[in-house]
Amino acid sequence: MLWPQLGAKRDEASFAKVGNVIRAEWGVDAPVSLEREEREEIGRGVVLEIVRDVCERTPELKADWYAVSPFR
């Protein structure tokens, strides 16, 4: 239900549906001085905010239905 509302591009992130999973790629480069884990956490936060925003605008969706984790 999230995918049709989310779309392929929103703000600084792009999204792709792969099977039952929606993959996100954060398009903004964090400073190289940050550790990889810190950059991933920033990107995860950005994607989570996008998901929350979409869910707030779509009454049939709830943000707590979705998890955002780094792709490894």
Give the tens place of pLDDT for each residue, 15-36.
Answer: 999 999 999 988 666 666 778 7
Task: Answer whether residue 71 is part of any domain.
Answer: no
**Which residue's entry shows tokens 């239900």?**
1
Tens of pLDDT, residue by residue over 31-45, are 667 787 888 888 889
Record the pTM: 0.82
Tokens of 30: 């964090």
Question: Contact, 26 vs 43, CB < 8 A?
Answer: yes
Task: Answer whether residue 36 is part of any domain.
Answer: yes
Structural domain including 50 reads 2-65
* Of 11, 21, 16, 23, nearest in space to 49 by CA: 11
Q: Are strands 13-18 and 9-10 parallel, antiparallel or unpaired?
A: antiparallel
- Total domains in the chain come to 1
Task: Answer whether residue 70 is part of any domain.
Answer: no
